[in-house]
């Protein structure tokens, strides 16, 4: 290997190292409720610094892929086929293993029996970060082997144009289950095997590493591959810098100009997202070549080089540490008790039989969702009707839950009565009921005439209580006279989660009420559990004055912890190939 190639690879290692450190940082804040804004993903459309880390790594993988396949002269052979298939399968297995391990550890932490925690395949996520790396490596390698390299820019352009058209005609930029990305993933994998994205206060089964959105990611990898080709073919660092800056700036400018019609979104890996992020990656790589190879400033590199030499192995290690830190218990308070929905349902049944309306409501929720008991929706409706018919207050939750049962269950469909129940719950200032009733006015459900003004008033009431989805709806009402109906369907927005009642307060409670309170405690769990993660975060909060700063400090500590292992491998010149 020539010295020039070694220097070139150092620049790539540093870029990979910066990227891996960034991935570990953004994936491991102290708390997800207080994240420093630049370290959080854009909710749906848009771009933050955090949205750059994964595409930068995809770009680096494409560059390195050229170096790797060049050893085989880009010609198909049994040895090359074995290498590509082996790495693809290995990446898939690693991705599945991490998800399985996460379910196992957190299941055990919640008190699940080993046999239950270990058998989490029915909810195992099929696709993810490692699976996306695997697919892009596999199909990118096939393109590099079987397609003439001078045709690859046309392949990249064709993929990005076709994908933009598919998203355009398939509602691909709408946060909705009508989005073609979500439709394909739900049809092929099913919602239980997918990541659920959240935006505007509600969540849907839409996987950011899904099937269709892998297509532009392959083009993303091929762009990196072509950059690797340019680096190998041109040994003059100044030419490399100029070329990277020229093409990078062109990509950024083109992506920026097109994003008005083709929104930039990581969640669907839009074509403009590919252009902007690869353009930025080229620009950063050019800067690294200037600093490291031209100017010779290398002392600062050692920290990131420790990550860059073994990027994937350290990312795997970081993922495992993150799971262990969050699941392993250091201390439990004296009153700690894991949730036990089965025992809770037994106690709810006893209290419900003695006429406790709150118990009837909560037992109905258990029957409707299958929590602690088998799903029995007719029984759930019967219990809710009993709760609504009693004189016990408050009844807002029972009104609301029965309305949901009427509107979402075909065996109990009575939209007119559901609207009446929602009105009663909304009059009790229940924010979910106010929002759902607003939707009924917006879409003319349950015999109501369409009334966008009344809907906006109800959204405002719910928004004032902090319901994020209602706040988003209010913004939509201000931006369009049709409000939320302009871009969404009723089923996209309607809140379907039932509400459980809390404990009954008071010093002189009946035996039935005490039984009910015990059931609530069993359903929710009691006491506090200190994990490695929470202990370190508590330390961070103690040395800072702000939870957001504490969250950032935790992420930095986590990176440094992982860096220790990377530095040991780096100093011992150990490279773990994945």
- CB half-sphere exposure, 192, CA atoms < 13 A: 5
Q: Residue 513's pLDDT band (boundaries 50, 70, 90)? A: confident
pLDDT in tens, 386-421: 888 776 656 788 888 888 888 876 544 577 888 888
Nearest C-alpha neighbor of 522 from the set 301, 381, 339: 339
> What is the C-alpha to C-alpha distance for residues 133 and 136, in angstroms, rounded to an integer?
5
> How many helices (H) and strands (E) are present in the chain, helices listed first?
24, 4
* Distances 20 to 13, 39, 90, 268, 308 between C-alpha atoms, Å: 10, 14, 19, 22, 7
pLDDT computed for residue 469 by the predictor:
83
Two tokens at 482?
């049709």
Q: Residue 518's pLDDT band (boundaries 50, 70, 90)? A: confident
Cβ–Cβ < 8 Å for 297, 288 = no
pLDDT in tens, 306-319: 898 889 999 999 99
pTM: 0.85
Does residue 53 have a pLDDT over 70?
A: yes
Cβ–Cβ < 8 Å for 554, 543 = no
pLDDT computed for residue 409 by the predictor:
66
* Per-residue burial over 507-529, b = 16 or more CB atoms within 10 Å of its CB, e = otherwise: eeeeebbebbbbbbbbbebeeeb
Contacts 24+ apart (CB under 8 A), 2-8: 4/235, 5/232, 7/292, 7/293, 8/231, 8/289, 8/293
Distance of CA 431 to the CA centre of its chain: 26
pLDDT in tens, 253-303: 999 999 999 999 999 999 999 999 999 999 999 999 999 888 888 888 889
Average confidence (pLDDT) over 341-358: 88
Please state which of the ranges 195-204, 223-232, 486-495 shows the lowest mean pLDDT.
486-495
Average confidence (pLDDT) over 187-205: 87
In which element (H, E) is residue 66 found? helix 53-70
Selected residue with higher pLDDT from 252 and 430: 252
Name the 3-class secondary structure at 304: helix
Sign of CA dihedral 467, 473, 477, 478: positive
Three-class secondary structure assignment of 148-213: CHHHHHHHHHHHHHHHHHHHHHCCCCCCCCCCHHHHHHHHHCCHHHCCEEEECCEEEECCCCCCCC
Average confidence (pLDDT) over 125-140: 95
> What is the C-alpha to C-alpha distance for residues 403 and 414, in angstroms, rounded to an integer?
9
* Per-residue burial over 96-125, b = 16 or more CB atoms within 10 Å of its CB, e = otherwise: bebbbbbbbbebbbeebeeeebeebeeeeb
Average confidence (pLDDT) over 40-53: 92
Considering the chain, what percentage of its residues have pLDDT values greater than 90? Answer: 49
Q: Residue 449's pLDDT band (boundaries 50, 70, 90)? A: confident
Residues 6+ apart with CB under 8 A from 123: 103, 192, 193
Two tokens at 67?
């170096």
Three-class secondary structure assignment of 464-516: HCCCHHHHHHHHHHHHCCCHHHHCCCHHHHCCCCCCCCCCCCCCCCCHHHHHH
- CATH for 342-524 (2.60.120.10, 1.25.40.10, 3.40.50.800, 2.170.190.11): 1.25.40.10
Residues 6+ apart with CB under 8 A from 558: 24, 25, 28, 318, 321, 322, 325
Average confidence (pLDDT) over 332-356: 84
Residues 6+ apart with CB under 8 A from 305: 10, 13, 14, 17, 570
Cβ–Cβ < 8 Å for 207, 185 = yes
Mean confidence (pLDDT) of the chain? 88
Considering the chain, what percentage of its residues have pLDDT values greater than 70? Answer: 96
pLDDT computed for residue 101 by the predictor:
95
pLDDT in tens, 468-507: 888 888 887 876 677 677 777 787 788 888 888 888 887 7
Nearest C-alpha neighbor of 328 from the set 100, 527, 530: 530
Burial class (CB in 10 A: 0-12, 13-18, 19+), 578: middle
Residue 573 zone, left/alpha/beta (φ > 0; ψ -120 to 50; rest): left
Cβ–Cβ < 8 Å for 523, 6 = no
pLDDT computed for residue 6 by the predictor:
40
Cβ–Cβ < 8 Å for 350, 511 = no
- Please list the residue range(s) of the chain that carry CATH number 1.25.40.10: 342-524
């Amino acid at each position: 290997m020539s010295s020039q190639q070694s220097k070139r690879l150092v620049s790539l290692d540093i870029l990979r190292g910066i990227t891996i450190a960034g991935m570990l940082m953004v994936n491991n804040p102290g708390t997800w409720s207080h994240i420093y804004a630049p370290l959080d993903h854009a909710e749906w459309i848009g771009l933050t610094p955090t949205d750059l880390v994964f595409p930068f790594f995809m770009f680096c993988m494409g560059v390195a892929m050229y170096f790797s396949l060049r050893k085989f002269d880009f010609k198909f052979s049994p040895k090359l086929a074995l290498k590509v298939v082996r790495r693809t399968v290995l990446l898939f297995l690693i991705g599945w293993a991490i998800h399985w391990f996460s379910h196992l550890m957190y299941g055990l932490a919640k008190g699940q029996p080993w046999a239950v925690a270990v058998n989490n395949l029915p909810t195992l996520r099929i696709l993810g970060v490692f699976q996306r790396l695997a697919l892009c490596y596999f199909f990118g390698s096939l393109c590099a082997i079987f397609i003439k390299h001078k045709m690859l820019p046309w392949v990249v352009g064709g993929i990005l144009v076709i994908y933009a058209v598919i998203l355009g005609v398939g509602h691909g930029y709408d946060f909705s289950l009508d989005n073609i990305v979500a439709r394909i993933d739900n049809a092929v994998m099913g919602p239980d095997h997918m990541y659920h994205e959240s935006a505007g206060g509600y969540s849907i089964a839409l996987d950011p590493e899904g099937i269709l959105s892998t297509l532009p990611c392959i083009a993303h990898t091929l762009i990196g591959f072509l950059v690797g080709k340019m680096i190998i073919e041109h040994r003059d660092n100044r030419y490399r810098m100029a070329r990277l800056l020229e093409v990078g700036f062109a990509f950024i400018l083109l992506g920026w100009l097109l994003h008005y019609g083709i929104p930039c979104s990581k969640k669907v890996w839009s074509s403009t997202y590919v252009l902007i992020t690869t353009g930025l990656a080229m620009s950063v790589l050019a800067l690294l070549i200037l600093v490291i190879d031209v100017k010779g400033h290398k002392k600062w590199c050692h920290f990131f080089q420790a990550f860059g030499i073994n990027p994937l192995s350290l990312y795997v290690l970081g993922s495992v540490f993150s799971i262990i830190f969050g699941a392993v218990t250091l201390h439990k308070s004296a009153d700690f008790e894991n949730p036990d929905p089965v025992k809770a349902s037994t106690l709810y049944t006893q209290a419900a039989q003695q006429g406790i309306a709150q118990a009837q409501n909560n037992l109905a929720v258990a029957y409707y969702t299958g929590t602690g008991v088998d799903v029995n929706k007719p029984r759930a409706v019967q219990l809710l009707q009993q709760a609504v018919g009693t004189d016990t207050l408050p009844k807002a939750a029972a009104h609301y839950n029965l309305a949901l049962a009427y509107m979402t269950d075909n065996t109990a469909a009575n939209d007119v009565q559901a609207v009446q129940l929602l009105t009663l719950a909304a009059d009790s200032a229940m924010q979910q009921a106010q929002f759902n009733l607003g939707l009924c006015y917006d879409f003319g459900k349950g015999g109501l005439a369409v009334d966008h003004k009344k809907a906006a008033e109800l959204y405002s009431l719910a928004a004032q209580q902090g319901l994020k989805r209602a706040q988003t709806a209010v913004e939509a009402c201000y931006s369009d006279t049709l409000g939320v109906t302009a871009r969404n369907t009723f089923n996209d927005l309607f809140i379907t989660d039932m509400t459980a009642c809390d404990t009954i307060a008071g010093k002189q409670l009946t035996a039935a009420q005490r039984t009910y309170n015990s059931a609530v405690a069993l359903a929710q769990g009691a006491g506090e559990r200190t994990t490695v993660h929470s202990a370190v975060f508590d330390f961070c909060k103690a040395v800072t004055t702000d939870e957001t700063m504490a969250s950032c400090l935790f992420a930095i500590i986590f990176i440094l912890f992982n860096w220790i292992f990377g530095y040991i491998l780096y100093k011992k010149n150990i490279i773990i190939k994945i």
